[in-house]
Copies of this chain bind each other. A is one copy, B any other.
Amino acid sequence: MTEERRRRVPRRIREQQIIDVAVRVFSKRGYHAASVDEIAELAGISKPMVYLYLESKEGLFIACLRREADRLVRAFQDAAREAGRPDERLHAGLRAFFAFVAEHRDGWVVLYRQASELSESIAREVALARRAVLSQVAGLVRDGVREEGGDGRVQLREEDADFVAYSLVGAADSLTDWTERHPGQSPDGVALRLMNMVWVGMERVLRGETWSPEHG
């Protein structure tokens, strides 16, 4: 209604505006409960425009998915590039993650909290997006240890790195809820705590000091 809105806006920008709104709505309501109507209204345009630009509800959701996954992957990469030592790299990655979630809660929810409810084609995209995130983490874990591996330590196999990556991402996701119940905690504080819990253990395990049910 306002002049601002009525002004003809170039396609690229409109698309981003729509996706911005869509991420919020998909995050709040979940894929199925979200309605294109609401998204169009909040974006200040008519439904046909949404369909013109994004093709379908699925197309819109996939666009959201990709953009948020890209942003998070980039955040990981930027963090890893700046840090030096392997452990610092992982720590930087975790910090980047919690910072991302703190700032883009909705994006994370769209990426990781859309349940089983999705159609075949969307499920594929979700899998891809999550895989991209997990790869980043697995990379941080694997490369880090590989460098240290020079001195004769037991190296992490692919599978192990993957195991750790899944654990970390799962833990991080869950801590996202923990944070809501402990509002004082800064993203960096959470990252440090998680680092402590995992890295220290990882080091020792790599050195061969494993835990077993029969140990004393």
User: Interface SS of chain A: helix, strand, loop or mixed?
Assistant: helix
Smallest CB gap from A194: residue in B: B167
Tell me how far the C-beta of A93 lies from the nearest C-beta in chain B, rounded to whole angstroms: 13
Partner of A116, one of B109, B162, B197, B199: B109
Tell me how far the C-beta of A163 lies from the nearest C-beta in chain B, rounded to whole angstroms: 6
- Known contacts A32-B117, A175-B163, A196 near B205 by CB under 8 Å: yes
- Distance in angstroms between the alpha carbons of A178 and B34 in the assembled complex: 29
Q: How many copies does the complex hold?
A: 4
User: Is A198's CB under 8 angstroms from B200's CB?
Assistant: no
Partner of A204, one of B114, B171, B175, B201: B201
- Known contacts A115-B113, A117-B33, A178 near B162 by CB under 8 Å: yes
User: Is B198's CB under 8 angstroms from A197's CB?
Assistant: yes
Tell me how far the C-beta of A182 lies from the nearest C-beta in chain B, rounded to whole angstroms: 7
New A-B pairs, 18, CB < 8 Å, besides A32-B117, A34-B117, A162-B181: A27-B116, A29-B116, A31-B115, A31-B117, A87-B211, A114-B115, A115-B115, A162-B182, A164-B197, A167-B197, A170-B173, A192-B213, A196-B201, A199-B201, A200-B201, A200-B204, A200-B205, A200-B209
